[in-house]
Structure 1
Amino acid sequence: MIDSLDAAVAFLLNHRSFIWLAIGLLAFGESLAIAGAIIPATPILLLLGTLLGRGLIEPTEAVPPAIAGAIVGYWASWAIGRRLKSRIYRAKSLAARRRSVARVRLFLSRWGGPSLVIGRFMLGPLQSMLPLVAGAGGMGPRRFHVWNIVSAFVWVPIVLAPGYLTGRGLVSTAMGRDVVMYLTWTLATVSVAAIFMMLVPLLRR
């Protein structure tokens, strides 16, 4: 796995025109229903954060395509769920994951639109099922698109932050995990809370 990542990084650094495409597809796959539970995108994005911190790739090469990929991945999942509605739960790929689907449905029922933001951090591989279930459950376009865009703009910088801080040398490798994860979760919590307070009143009008 590590050797494969090193080879992929070396290839991208030697073929910089492919960086934006690779990162966009990576974020897309992470956000696409079912595929997001298979593609190990988060560790790779953490590695990309390290490359950003070391100055090996530019923020403009990584952040915009990652945000775009995350938005499109969630949108595609939502569109599938909206089209198939309750039929998605009879699909073989989901029938074998009934407990996971039930957990996602309960999470969505509890948090509503903000679950698209919170779930990216709290549900792990299951987060890619959120937009699928939201579409099947009838979440409207306006509400979905607002929270989808917000989730991408919050998730990408925060998931890149641990690697970036380590790459900049602001945190040593030995203590990096605990300190950076604490800072990351604090930032995520504050960001989600602030966005929630600003957007919920607007979406209720």
Structure 2
Amino acid sequence: MEAYVTPVIEFVKANQAWAPAIIFALCFAESLAVLSLIVPAWAMIVAFGPLIGSAGIPFWPILVAAALGATLGDAVSYWFGYVFKDRIATIWPLSKHPDMLPKGHAFFERWGVWAIFIGRFSGPLRAAVPLVAGMLAMSQWKFQIANVLSAFIWAGVLLAPGNFLGKYLPFLH
């Protein structure tokens, strides 16, 4: 995993103007059902917190870019589920994880709209819940409200602690 994380972080250190676009792309990849199974973005997103704190990169534009990327990723996943329904399970790489959709379905049935919030924080369910919401034709409004709110909370939880430590830890020594 370090082989993927280090080059991205080093690039952002050298090209800080690209930080919002890169965090947007990472959060989009982490939230998009198909890409999240392939791209190890979570570690890079968490590593962004200390980076932006220590480099003096403004926090709020990064938070907004991260939340928008996550929102778009889940929205596209919802759309895939809505359009392809049960056929989605036959598409690679989802076909390589046959238990993912049934687990996501059970989780969604149990928690309803709260599954969007809770699932965002659960690695294995993060990809499945928006797909299942689309497959079950959950109300677009309910889904998008939960999607946007949970994306901002998720981005804050992943980025803020590292940002704080990156910004203030040097002063504590």
Q: Compute the TM-score of the two structures, normalised by the length of structure 1.
A: 0.75
Q: Compute the TM-score of the two structures, normalised by the length of structure 2.
A: 0.87
Q: Does 1:107 align with 2:107?
A: yes
Amino acid at match of 1:65: A
CA distance in 2: counterparts of 1:19 and 1:60, whole angstroms: 12
Relative contact order, higher structure (CA 8 A, sep 6+)? 2
Two-structure CA RMSD over aligned residues (Å): 2.1
**Contact 2:64-2:152 at 8 Å conserved across structures:** no
Deviation at 1:43, TM superposition (A): 1.3
Structure 2 counterpart of 1:132? 131
Structure 1, 64-73 or 95-104: larger mean CA deviation: 95-104
Identity %: 32
Structure 1 counterpart of 2:83? 83
Structure 2 counterpart of 1:95? 95
Aligned counterparts, 1:1-205, within 5 A: 1-2=1-2, 4-121=4-121, 123-167=122-166, 168-169=168-169
Q: Based on CA coordinates, which of the two structures has the bigger radius of gyration?
A: 1
Unaligned runs of 5+ in 1: 173-205
User: How many residues are treated as equivalent by the alignment?
Assistant: 170
CA distance in 2: counterparts of 1:86 and 1:74, whole angstroms: 18
Amino acid at match of 2:156: P
Deviation at 1:104, TM superposition (A): 0.9
**Contact 2:27-2:73 at 8 Å conserved across structures:** yes
CA distance in 2: counterparts of 1:83 and 1:61, whole angstroms: 33
Question: Which secondary structure state, in structure 2, belongs to the residue aligned with residue 169 of structure 1?
Answer: helix
Superposed CA deviations along residues 137-166 of structure 1, whole A, max 9, x for unmatched, are: 111111111111111011000111332243
Unaligned runs of 5+ in 2: none
Amino acid at match of 1:149: V
CA distance in 1: counterparts of 2:93 and 2:3, whole angstroms: 31
Superposed CA deviations along residues 154-200 of structure 1, whole A, max 9, x for unmatched, are: 10001113322432329x9xxxxxxxxxxxxxxxxxxxxxxxxxxxx
